[in-house]
Structure 1
Amino acid sequence: MKKLILILLTFMPFLTKAQVTLIPDPVLEQRLVSLGIDSDGVVNGQILTADAQNTTQLSLESGHGTLTDFTGLEAFINCEEIESYFNDIQTINLIPLTKLKKLHLTNSMLRSIDLSGNINLESLYIGNGLYVKFWNPNDIEFLDLSNNNNLKHINLYSLYGLRQINLKNHNAHSLNITLGNEQDFSYNICIEVDDAVAATNGTAPYDTWNVIDTQNGSHFFSVNCALSVEKFVTENFKIYPNPATEYVAIEQKETKDVTLQSVQILDSSGKWIKSVKDNFNKIDVSNLSKGMYLFVIQTDKGNKTEKIIIK
């Protein structure tokens, strides 16, 4: 019996050791220390998981240095509000935070975000701030909010790359959406909904939606944004000849608020060959080997891919 007690006492510290969550970014951990969240008060690459789970609000501005890694935030499962300003983050995992109601991520380098698990989200602000010009514009092109049915406020101002928003399945009593930017070019955002006609006409259930197009912003509704963008590009541009030997021309049929930005040429396997940013009316293909190529027509309204045969 004494031997058994001794063995239990020997292993007891390991059995009772508290769970920890790794925080690889020292700037983030220092912020957690300053907020009184990291209870050990030491920047050592980890916090008690219990500390994270006891947190309901989190403000992460850049006053203590620039954050580059948000690894560890997934442990804050009871957090209801997160605000982050002027941080160099490109990805963030918030899927486990099912209680999250308010998310403000401004002036970041965010390239993608998955909000499918944040079903209680009510307020979303992803942009670069109303009063900040040309500051690290986000590279997000597509935003899927089809699983966030409780959203009431969506502010996407200054998301210069944004082209599509999926708002299918939304039955919110009211929804306010802010779009636009401070750059010198305009763009048209496709909002994917269940009934494009009703949304366009402002009839139920979209009669309580309010889409605000600020400077240089515009939008349209569609049940399938991917097909709508492709159709729009097809209607505005003609590419010929096909097959081609010496050159390929891209002719703009109309000047209807659309700008051809570049053409990416890829081989049949998807390997990038070259980029064309001017002289679209005569793109030299004489040095390309015979075969099939993909011409990705990139416009400010979206992209379309054409198969071109080089003889």
Structure 2
Amino acid sequence: MKIYINLLSLFFCIGITAQTTSIPDQNFEQYLINQSIDSDGVINGQVLTSDINTLLSLQLQWVGNFTGLEDFTALEILEISDVPFQNNNNITLDLTANTNLKILEIWTYEGLKKIDLTGLVNLEELMVMEGQNDVETMFIEEIDLSTNPNITYLSTGYLQHLEQINLQNGNNINMLNMEISVYNTSARPICIKVDDATAATNNNAPYNSWTLYGITPNFYEQGACTLKVDPLNKLEIALYPNPVQNSFQIKTSEKVDEVSLFSVTGKKIAHFSSQQDYDISNLPVGLYFVKIQSAEGESVQRIVKR
């Protein structure tokens, strides 16, 4: 009888000390159940912390409340997409507890104003993409990477409010081959805060190893940065068919000089002179960016290959 009571007491103690994490968003918890992460398999607004604190990768879609994400302490790769509107255009996504994060991708987060990446020293890649043509859903004005010394890749798309990127992290000298891609309807000036604005402006090391696409950078170190006037005219462009299977055409009133094709990671994968049809039949299905240049300016358009 004494042994039975002791065992019962042991199980009771284990039960009351098992740590749980609150997951109030049902879509969030349903994903954890579908992926066999939430071990109880029931939508009850919580998950055992031991189920999630060793997870390395997470893909979340249609989640509006990210409460609980702070306990995914081992997380290295996080992808967030299609976050629904919550009647708030001033949302901050706080990831400061996810200190092991290396790769972060955000694809359409309605109402997002700020991403707090403070102290994420392991962060290497950041991608923030607006997913709807001509519809503003994200209101990010600044991307602050001043406490992320190991960042090597930044790509943004269609963030019409973006004005500043802060890369003044004290480690620019070691940031060789940094890539920054800003996809918009046309090239635009962006303030980039760095460790040495003079070296960056004069294209000296290490900044001469950096690749910048889609922006006219205004490098600065201190004080406020004043954006230059828009250096290029916006072209009126249409691509058709879009989506495309084999080849597409460009409809514009301007004379096209050249056309370049880029992957979503900013890699240039094709270049064309002006022609009637642009053949991309050899490319795999997916999303691409088409950069059209003329004497009047340039434009970057999205196209989907089926």
The normalised TM-score by structure 1 is: 0.65
Distance 2:26 2:92 in 1: 17
Distance 2:161 2:23 in 1: 30
Q: Per-residue deviation at 1:8?
A: 8.5
- Please say if residues 218 and 225 of structure 2, whose CA atoms lie closer than 8 Å, have aligned partners that are also in contact: no
Q: Per-residue deviation at 1:7?
A: 8.1
Summarize deviations over 1:115-164 as a string: whole Å, max 9, x none: 012111111001215xx412443111122101111111100121111111
Q: Per-residue deviation at 1:5?
A: 9.1
Distance 2:47 2:185 in 1: 40
2:181 to 178, 181, 204: 178
Gaps of 5+ in 2: 86-90, 232-306
Partner-residue secondary structure (3-state), 2:208: coil
Distance 1:103 1:51 in 2: 21
Instruction: Say if 1:11 and 1:37 are closer, same or farther in 2 by CA, change over 3 A.
Output: closer
The normalised TM-score by structure 2 is: 0.66
Q: Per-residue deviation at 1:93?
A: 2.5
Gaps of 5+ in 1: 234-255, 259-311
Aligned to 1:13: 12
Aligned to 1:98: 99
Distance 2:125 2:21 in 1: 27
1:69 to 60, 65, 68: 65
Structure 1 consecutive aligned stretches of length 4 or more whose deviation exceeds 4 Å: 4-12
Aligned to 1:221: 219
Distance 1:25 1:5 in 2: 40
Matches within 5 A, 1:111-122: 111-122=113-124
Distance 1:46 1:135 in 2: 35
Partner-residue secondary structure (3-state), 2:116: coil
Matches within 5 A, 1:149-298: 149-168=149-168, 169=170, 170=172, 171-182=174-185, 187-213=188-214, 217-224=215-222, 226-229=223-226, 256-257=229-230
Distance 1:94 1:74 in 2: 7
Distance 1:141 1:176 in 2: 19
- Please say if residues 92 and 116 of structure 2, whose CA atoms lie closer than 8 Å, have aligned partners that are also in contact: no
Partner-residue secondary structure (3-state), 1:67: coil
> Across the two proteins, how many residue pairs are aligned to each other?
221
- Please say if residues 37 and 51 of structure 1, whose CA atoms lie closer than 8 Å, have aligned partners that are also in contact: yes
Matches within 5 A, 1:141-156: 141-156=141-156
Distance 2:42 2:4 in 1: 34
Q: Which amino acid aligns with 1:96?
A: A
Distance 1:228 1:67 in 2: 35
